[in-house]
Chains A and B, each alone.
Chain A
Amino acid sequence: MSDFAKLKDELKDKLSKVQNSGDLDIIKTEIFGKSGLINSEFKKLGTLSPDEKKKQASEINIAKQELTKIFNDKIAKLADIEINEAVKKEKVDVTLPEKDFRIGKIHPVSQVIDEISSIFSEIGFSVEEGPDVETEYYNFTALNTPENHPAKDMHDTFYIEENMKTLLRTHTSPVQVRTMLKGKPPFKIIAPGRTYRSDSDQTHTPMFHQLEGLHIDKNITMGHLKGCLNYFIKEFFEVDKIKMRFRPSHFPFTEPSAEVDIGYKIENNKIIIGEGDKWLEILGCGMVHPNVLKNSKVDPNKYQGFAFGIGIDRLAMLKYGINDLRSFFECDYRWLNYYGFDPLDVPTSYRGLSK
């Protein structure tokens, strides 16, 4: 065996026994350093004949490759050992509390508006809006509620001008008229928004939210109204079955008019919608009065349809078990955190309304 081969085997043996990266550095110099084994052997080549030189050089290269591989494996192995050692020493108490994460919430009313919009979107309704400050005309007169009509007593109106010509809208119904005036039939819209009545007690707040619905086309009947509301209520409460009852009522802007009750029962202090023998009034609706269509420049001999109005806050209370209407507007930090919704929890029809 040549000296080179001997030296090489020695170093190989030494390499395999190395235990730490300090020792490895020393061997690295012995093998690959300027005057290490490999370089020394190459230097010797100069004295050899061309044939010898070629043969010897190839031998050195093979040895170099072999040693390099062993060396690299050793580095990797040592690194592993050292990391494992280090990791063993690094221990924290993961049961200590996590860092604060600032999470925001969406108000239940906003969430419910999104849920409602998603449901009506599925059956082709689009969203319209109207101003909070309204004129007497749009809020009452155009909606077939003449001045000095007792029906106005039910709306405790906030007035903005002394002459009582501008006011805060008492319902979302003026959006019906505004929508029809700016477009051409057919109309298929919902209009959620803030509404105002000068009323404040346990079950009333001076501001609340309503959702208006309007569907006008050539042959829209009360049958469509029933079907539409039935669909909505079922989807909204995410139940398969719903008990629903239409009671005749009176609104100046619809005729025939109805109030809609849904069946419910109380079980373990929780309200269960869709079953039971108790009735809960949830909305008012009817066929749009021909006078309203006329006032909206829609020909009542050609077009007809239905409208409805729902209290959004009340729907939110029912669906999410919130007892006090006033709490919606009190901005209590605890309430907002408890009843609010995750901003990523966007209600959609394909993913479902609620988590």
Chain B
Amino acid sequence: MRFTKDWLQDHLKTNKTEAQIIEKLNSTGLEVEKVEPVKNELSDFIVSKIVKVEKHPNADRLKLCHVDIGKKEFVKVVCGGPNAKDNLLTIYAPPGSVIPKNNMKLEVTKIRGETSYGMLCSESELNLSDESEGIIELNQSFKKKIGRSYFKSNSDNVIELSVTPNRPDCLGIRGIARDLSASGFGKLIDNKNIKIKKKGKQPIKIKIEKNKNQACTIFGSCLIRNIKNKESPEWLKKRILSLGLRPISAVVDITNYVMFDLNRPLHAYDSDKIRNGIIVRNSKKGESFKALDNKEYKLDDGMCVISDYDGVLGLGGIIGGIRSGTELNTKNILLESAYFDPIITRKTAKKLQLNSDAKFRFERGIDPNSISAGLERASEMIIKICGGEVTKFDIQNIKNIVPKKIPFDPNLVPKTIGIQIKKNEIIKILEDLGFKIKKKGKNLSVEIPSWRPDIYGQIDLVEEIIRIKGFDKIQSVEPEKKRLKPTLDFFQRHFHLAQRSVASKGYLEVITWSFTDEKINKNFKENIKEIKIINPISSDLNVLRNSLYPNLIYFMKKNIDRGFDDQSLFEIGPVFTGNKPGQQATVVCGVRKENKLDVYGIKADVIQTMIEMGINKNEFNVDIKTPSYYHPGKSGSITTKKDRKLLGYFGEIHPKIIHNTYGFEIFLENLVKYKNQNKKNKQTINFSDYQKSDRDFAFVVQKDFKAQNLIDIILDIDTSLIKNVKIFDVYEGENIPSDKKSIALKVTIQSDFKILNEKDLNEISQKIISNVEEKASAKLRS
């Protein structure tokens, strides 16, 4: 919403400065987005610099200029000026601007096969002189002004507000004035319309059909005859320009003017083009019409249309049609001032992807009691500017307007905001905003003004009061340090631990999108359902990720392109297993690429992380079963010994996806759940001081025999004596059958109670040999 101080003063008698007004608007909830000089027709012409001139490939006398207009990118302009050259400062006219000399509106055009975005101007084209040879040459002092308007604007500033969706009343300047007045910034001017003379009945029959979900509940109109439509007078043009609109004709400008002045959208029809009266009805599927934006719209069932006996004239509350539009030669106009339901209007506009200033207002809620005021104001202006006579107003109404009343307990104010405001002050604020108050004992009965559709309950009134009183009046209360429960729960603590544990192993944490490219994702999704995003931001980010790998590998490759061959990245975050809330799991995933890295390197990272998270090595198994995105011979899974719950995977990523890259995944929910169910306290431990002995063995086993099983077999023999088993060599080759391998290991033997003699040691050694030979089908290597 845009306005000037000068326009505001039509409604508000105030002696405050623009700066004071801006500050006050901010503090009452009407956020000032920007303040800038009013644009006029000449402000389109921008100081620019030709950065580079090229030859036009298809025309000798034309040039291709790359022009700096103060934006991020240069624009390309085809130019015929013989003086166009590199580094020349000149004036640029963008597409959409109107050249003063011939009133020609510029468009993006192809000139001899090259697209030109706008034009570089000569002095004559801007009516500065008769000089038409070549483009304007500006002196070096304009260098600092590149991107700014060449012509100085000496009018007011325009203040642009960002009006929140709950405040349709402030989409009109009068509403803004009302808020300022209630905040003590002047007196709201009571501008009763000068009663214009109205003659006769409005002769065009208006009918609102009682359809189901009829959006139009009130349709007010009047006919103005014998006008002479023309260009608007200067003052009106100026105001239209300040709104950021282009002046069109007096009739159109006036309807726009009233919309922004009173937040009262209107529509003017050329009444000579209406056949046999107006019917407001729901559309039928397949009906179509050409709207004022020059586009043809095909309608569905149930959209609110204004029609005559030939068909659709316009979409109620959204946009009018070409067929009944007013033109400069229009003689008689029908002026419409109606009420359209917010929700239905919004639905229709959304379906047709149509936006307009009227629709923006109706979907937020227009004052249903502003029908006549709008007709009065507009017809008064039209008659003044274009002449003519106006009929009496015809107001069709299919629903009565009942004012909303709510009982209000003023004690809710201190209870909510923590400070006392006197009852009288509360009443004054509300009354200044247009509420009508009746005292009812301790409570108040508050009647809501019809322009405030956002007010429903008591809490809305509290907001109004503190908003006007000022949020700065609220006293800050020091926070209490009382804690209701631990800051982090068991899972969250492990999330943090995992994050820092992996980072401490040399991995850089990254955060990537929760969505990814389905083409990459399909390598990793295994049996999980693909979860598509209906409206993705781009076609390569169109599914929710089923794994963290797709994005990690994508970004790893990007870093390789940047010249970083060795890198370790990790992410901790959600993967999605379904399209319902909660169908997601937290995964810690690392990728590592490095010279001489092997599967045992990545295994060390993942196992050490598990240990740091409190899972002992003897609590899990490593298996060879892994998903298809891992190298089938160089990857493993980690499962709990107790109930075979999957804790993670590690290994080389399948070379068909990426070369020489290793990765791991830890499934955090599984890990934390296991840990929670198997909480252990550290037992008191006594360390044995008796002599310990190491015995080395080498066993020949089948090639695919898993080393871990060998360790488990030996550890199982006698836990009181066998303290550790460590593999120190695996050998295949000469002296070993080709289907076999030799595993050499060191067993640490120690008793807690005595010194073991040679006999004891031999006994346990024999047990180790016989057990292994039997259970692993192994042979002791001699």
Q: Which residues of A contact B (CB under 8 A)?
A: 102-107, 109-110, 114, 117, 120-127, 129, 131-135, 138, 148-151, 153-154, 158-162, 164, 166, 168, 186-188, 194, 196, 198-200, 206-207, 219, 221-224, 226-228, 230-231, 245-250, 255-259, 287, 289-290, 304, 328-334, 336-337, 340, 343-344, 346
Contacts and interface: CB of A to CB of B under 8 A. Distances in A.
A248 B28 contact: yes
A125 B482 CA distance: 9
Interface string B580-613: 1111100000000000000000000000000000
B476 A230 contact: yes
B581 A166 contact: yes
Given A126-B485, A194-B574, A221-B415, A249 B459 contact: no
Given A135-B581, A228-B479, A337-B508, 18 more contacts: A104-B570, A126-B488, A133-B580, A133-B583, A158-B537, A188-B484, A194-B574, A219-B415, A221-B416, A222-B416, A223-B476, A224-B477, A248-B28, A248-B471, A256-B463, A329-B513, A331-B512, A340-B508
B474 A328 contact: no
A330 to B, nearest CB: 7
A247 B26 contact: yes
B564 to A, nearest CB: 5
A333 B514 contact: no
Contacts of B569: 331, 336
B579 A161 contact: yes
B31 interface: yes
Interface of B: 26-29, 31, 164-167, 342-343, 346-347, 363-364, 415-419, 457, 459-460, 462-463, 466-467, 471-472, 474-489, 492, 496, 499-515, 531-537, 541, 544, 555-556, 558-559, 562, 564, 567-570, 573-574, 576, 579-584
B466 A331 contact: no
Contacts of A248: 27-29, 463, 466-467, 471
A247 B471 contact: yes
Contacts of B531: 160
Top 10 nearest A-B pairs (CB, nearest first) are: A102-B506, A248-B29, A223-B418, A221-B418, A250-B164, A331-B555, A343-B503, A104-B503, A246-B471, A256-B463
A158 B457 contact: no
Given A158-B536, A222-B416, A134 B581 contact: yes
Question: Which of B164, B486, B570 neighbours the largest number of chain A CB atoms within 10 Å of its CB?
Answer: B164
Contact of B476 (A199, A207, A227, A247): A227
Contacts of B541: 206
Contacts of B573: 194
Nearest to B463: A256
Contact of B514 (A164, A168, A230, A258): A168
A337 B541 CA distance: 26
A329 B510 CA distance: 7
A109 B511 contact: yes
Contacts of A230: 476
B500 A250 contact: no
Given A248-B28, A329-B511, A104 B484 contact: no
Nearest to B551: A331
A332 B569 CA distance: 10
Contacts of B537: 158, 198-200, 206
A343 B500 contact: yes
B488 A114 contact: no
A161 B583 CA distance: 14
B535 A158 contact: yes
30 contacts: A104-B507, A106-B509, A122-B481, A124-B479, A126-B483, A132-B514, A132-B576, A154-B165, A158-B515, A159-B535, A166-B579, A166-B580, A194-B514, A194-B573, A194-B574, A198-B535, A222-B466, A222-B471, A223-B475, A224-B479, A246-B471, A247-B26, A247-B27, A247-B31, A250-B164, A250-B165, A290-B459, A304-B415, A333-B508, A344-B500
Nearest to B506: A102
Nearest to A102: B506
B673 to A, nearest CB: 16
Question: Which of A122, A133, A188 neighbours the largest number of chain B CB atoms within 10 Å of its CB?
Answer: A133
B528 to A, nearest CB: 14
Question: Which of A154, A200, A231, A333 neighbours the largest number of chain B CB atoms within 10 Å of its CB?
Answer: A333
Question: Which of A223, A248, A259 neighbours the largest number of chain B CB atoms within 10 Å of its CB?
Answer: A248
Nearest to A336: B508
A148 B506 CA distance: 50
A249 B31 contact: yes
Contacts of B544: 133, 160
B559 A331 contact: yes
A250 B478 contact: no
Contacts of B31: 247, 249, 259
B487 A104 contact: no
A150 B363 contact: yes
B417 A221 contact: yes
Contacts of B480: 123-124
B415 A227 contact: no
Contacts of A129: 492
A332 B510 CA distance: 9
A326 to B, nearest CB: 11
Contact of B582 (A131, A198, A344): A131
Given A123-B481, A133-B579, A245 B508 contact: no
Given A117-B487, A226-B476, A226-B477, A344 B418 contact: no
Contact of B504 (A104, A207, A257): A104
Contacts of B533: 158-160, 168
Given A160-B533, A223-B475, A110 B580 contact: no
Contacts of A332: 558-559, 562
A223 B510 contact: no
A126 B581 contact: no
Contacts of B477: 221, 223-224, 226-227
Contacts of B481: 122-124
A150 B584 contact: no
B165 A150 contact: yes
B226 to A, nearest CB: 41
B513 A148 contact: no
A231 B453 CA distance: 36
Nearest to B26: A247
B167 A107 contact: no
B558 A231 contact: no
Contacts of B574: 132, 194
A247 B22 CA distance: 13
Contacts of B462: 255-256
B257 to A, nearest CB: 24
Contacts of A329: 511-513
Nearest to A101: B506
A192 B496 CA distance: 13
B499 A110 contact: yes
A316 to B, nearest CB: 11
Given A121-B487, A159-B534, A223 B559 contact: no
Contact of B568 (A102, A107, A331): A102
A131 B584 contact: yes
B420 to A, nearest CB: 12
B347 A148 contact: yes
Contacts of B556: 331
Nearest to B467: A248
A257 B166 CA distance: 11
B597 to A, nearest CB: 11
A257 B505 CA distance: 45
Contact of B463 (A104, A246, A255, A330): A255
Nearest to B496: A114
Contacts of B579: 133, 160-161, 166
A151 B165 contact: yes
Contacts of B488: 117, 126-127
B459 A255 contact: yes
A165 B314 CA distance: 32
B304 to A, nearest CB: 15
A160 B569 CA distance: 29
Contact of A256 (B466, B482, B514): B466
